[in-house]
Amino acid sequence: MHRWSRLFIPTLREAPADAEVASHKFLVRSGYIRQLGAGIYSYLFLGQRSINKIIAIVRQEMDRIGQEFLLPGIMPSEIWKESGRWTGMGQNMFRLQDRKGAELCLGMTHEEVVTDIARKELRSYKQLPQIWYQIQTKYRDEPRPKAGLLRVRTFIMKDSYSFDLDEAGLDLSYKKHDQAYRAIFTRCGLSFVAVEADSGAMGGSQSQEFMVYTDAGEDLIVSCPKCGYAANLEKATSRLERVDELASTGDGKPELVHTPGKASIADVAEFFQILPAQDIKTVAYMAEVRDGKKTTWEPVVAFLRGDHSVNETKLAGVTKASELRPMVAEELEKFFGGPAGYLGPIGLGVSKHLHDRGVNVILDKSLEGRENMVAGANKFDYHYRNVTPGRDFGWTVSADIRSVAEGEACPLCGSPLKIGKAVEVGHIFKLGNRYTDVMGARVLDPNGKEVTPIMGCYGIGIERILTASIEQNNDTNGFWLPRAIAPFDVVVTVTNISDAKLLATGEEVAGSLEAAGFDVLLDDRDERAGVKFKDADLIGIPYRINVGKKAAEGKVELVTRARASSEDVVLGEVAQRLASQ
RNA sequence: CGGGGAGUGGCUCAGCCUGGUAGAGCACCUGGUUCGGGACCAGGGGGUCGGAGGUUCGAAUCCUCUCUCCCCGACCA
């Protein structure tokens, strides 16, 4: 039994000044964590207990499908150079040198390490499939750590890696993880959604994120309340309603119109008395393209419906850009011949294929088949009308490069879509042979033919489970965790320890609860009752047994933190009663 | 990396504009009274005012540089 009077649980009456989100405030106030530096935290007694419970659940579910390893937290640069990520991963990696000057890095992820093991040890298809996992601290030099434990520079991650002979095998490993993750997050008491995710520049084929809705989240999730469709905004699509086309004017060809001072979509729409959807939006970028060792910057111009917004993740995916930045004025002048506000598609030197000479013009699919639109004329204070894509201008690639907006129709069932903020707690990812191939992992298949195993990787942010849970379960007085991940199941509060009888009763109750298998914290501090109640409400423990006034009648109170409800329980029945909660 | 904000006792902050040698509340220690929703009274301990340099008779306060933290953006296999 843990006696509060002897523990270090530094609760704070006030939230630290630099905390913004609820989980951050409460984690600090409740004495779970203390900050050492930006994105660097110590986990104190309560925090560590909660983390341990989360890890135990993750471990238990993962052991059903895989094998736990412990991998190095520090590693030589060579394997990263082999995979091409020594430069590719760039700035997010903590790098260091040993005394001989050799380059090392702190482990931010372990694909290279497990692939190195795989290539040295795996010889035959008979050894496949393999699922290896680790639960370890990872180090990432985040450009901007924030929101307490939500985005940090050192954190605990469950990462697993699967090796399979073929796609069918990978499908199975992926599916196993999907199921394990659902079991894990369910057991942790989280309300979560699995969403389609962007596979990124990794070239993976399929990817799913496990998200918990909260305003503290950094991701935007598009979902359909009707059919269950859910996707990261970076990936989401929607069904669009047909837009009424404008009637053509004059001879039907693009007509130059003087539009003094009309530099925004809204102004132009008002000027022409049209809908923004009848206007063409032009967004101009310079894209960084890495081709092996060579890095070049190419012009990329996106055309979209006036009422749509460009989705840079999609655009980067389509153009294979490692980075996108808006064009500066000189570049606009160079490629368009006109200034921002009056950019348009007519007269651009369009490249035939991506990365060819010329401007990479990416047309959003929603503009295909449209006609008589309004667009900038690449001339200060002028626009065109009667602009018809295909007839009046061409493009390099047509693709979905826009962001879905709230209320648009679900791509599956047509119901209005919702958009909400969420935290990513897990991610499963079909990697393919990207690492196994370049690092030379090969096995012989049943025909004696050499094949490259294909990989999947699967991560869970341990602290994010705790953080997300707090975000979901808090009020002004504190938070409550589900029993499965709370540092203690129950706190037994003795309202006045100077009453020896009362203290003895509290110890007896705590002892009986412990005997019944509960994790019990006995609040035997020499504090006033009010202080103890406030602390108990603050620190995330789901139940409180109050040993006070009614003890004389042989009763205690069972307080359920989530509902702030209280019921009297006869002394002998406490364990039984709690177990039935 | 761009923009904004903040560093004063353990915590939350005032003082800075208009220089005169540091304060409040909470926390902590001692004694007493209290004891079911963060008690009260009395006494007490604790601060290189983030750091360095400069201006000045005198700097928490003015100037320069620098470090750190927070927020927005960029970024985020």
pLDDT at A557: 94
Q: How far is the CA of A47 from the C1' of B77 (A)?
A: 29
Q: Which of A402, A428, A458 is the last residue of a domain?
A: A402
Q: How far is the CA of A239 from the C1' of B1 (A)?
A: 38
pLDDT at A199: 65
Co-location of A205 and A350 in the same domain: no
Nucleic strand B under 7 Å from the C-beta of A241: no
- Render the burial of A446-460: b for 16+ CB within 10 Å, e for the rest: eeeeebbbbbbbbbb
Nucleic strand B under 7 Å from the C-beta of A433: no
Judge whether A447 lies within some domain. yes
Using 50 as the pLDDT threshold, list the residues of chain A that sit under it.
201
CATH of the domain at A535: 3.40.50.800
Length of chain A: 581
Nucleic strand B under 7 Å from the C-beta of A314: no
Co-location of A20 and A158 in the same domain: yes
Q: For residue A376, what are the contacts with CB-CB under 8 A and spacing of at least 6?
A: A280, A282, A338, A341, A342, A343, A344, A382, A383, A384
In terms of residue numbers, what domain contains A571? 488-579
pLDDT at A240: 84
- Per 3-state DSSP, chain A is made up of helix, strand and coil in percentages (nearest 5) of 30, 35, 40
Closest CA to A491 of A187, A14, A46, A53: A46
Q: Could you tell me if A442 and A448 are in contact, meaning their C-beta atoms sit under 8 angstroms apart?
A: no
Q: CB count, 10 Å around CB of A545?
A: 26
Q: How far is the CA of A404 from the C1' of B27 (A)?
A: 51
pLDDT at A177: 96
User: In one letter, which amino acid is A254?
Assistant: P
Judge whether A292 lies within some domain. yes
Q: Enter the tokens of residue A137.
A: 């601290």
Co-location of A175 and A82 in the same domain: yes
Query: From CA A459, how far away is CA A426, in angstroms rounded?
Result: 5
Judge whether A2 lies within some domain. no
In the three-class reduction of DSSP (H, G, I as helix; E, B as strand; rest coil), residue A351 is classed as coil
Q: Which of A348, A368, A402 is the last residue of a domain?
A: A402
Chain A 450-469 residues in 7 Å CB range of strand B: 457, 459
Co-location of A308 and A354 in the same domain: yes
Co-location of A90 and A25 in the same domain: yes
Co-location of A84 and A190 in the same domain: yes
Q: Enter the tokens of residue A75.
A: 């590693």
Co-location of A335 and A445 in the same domain: no
Q: Rounded to whole angstroms, what are the CA distances from A278 to A295, A311, A353, A406, A464?
A: 37, 20, 28, 20, 44
Judge whether A477 lies within some domain. no
Co-location of A17 and A152 in the same domain: yes
Q: CB count, 10 Å around CB of A236?
A: 27
Instruction: Report the domain count for chain A.
Output: 3
| Sign of the CA dihedral with A561 first, then A563, A564, and A568 last | negative
Q: Which of A343, A369, A402 is the last residue of a domain?
A: A402
Nucleic strand B under 7 Å from the C-beta of A477: yes
CATH of the domain at A114: 3.30.930.10
Judge whether A395 lies within some domain. yes
The CA-CA-CA angle for residues A215, A220, A222, to 5°, reads 115
pLDDT at A241: 81
pLDDT at A299: 82
Chain A 183-212 residues in 7 Å CB range of strand B: 200-202
Closest CA to A474 of A15, A43, A57: A15
Strand B bases contacted by the protein (CB, 7 Å): 1, 5-6, 11-13, 25-27, 34-39, 68-77
Co-location of A114 and A194 in the same domain: yes
pLDDT at A90: 63
Query: From CA A134, how far away is CA A122, in angstroms rounded?
Result: 19
Query: What strands lie across the sheet with A555-560, from one edge to the other?
Result: A2-3, A520-523, A490-494, A543-547, A555-560, A565-570
Judge whether A107 lies within some domain. yes
Chain A 324-353 residues in 7 Å CB range of strand B: 324-325
Q: For residue A464, what are the contacts with CB-CB under 8 A and spacing of at least 6?
A: A149, A150, A423, A424, A425
Beta strands at A397-399 and A230-232: parallel, antiparallel or unpaired: unpaired
Q: How far is the CA of A19 from the C1' of B13 (A)?
A: 16
Judge whether A6 lies within some domain. no
Q: Could you tell me if A395 and A367 are in contact, meaning their C-beta atoms sit under 8 angstroms apart?
A: no
| Sign of the CA dihedral with A332 first, then A337, A343, and A345 last | negative
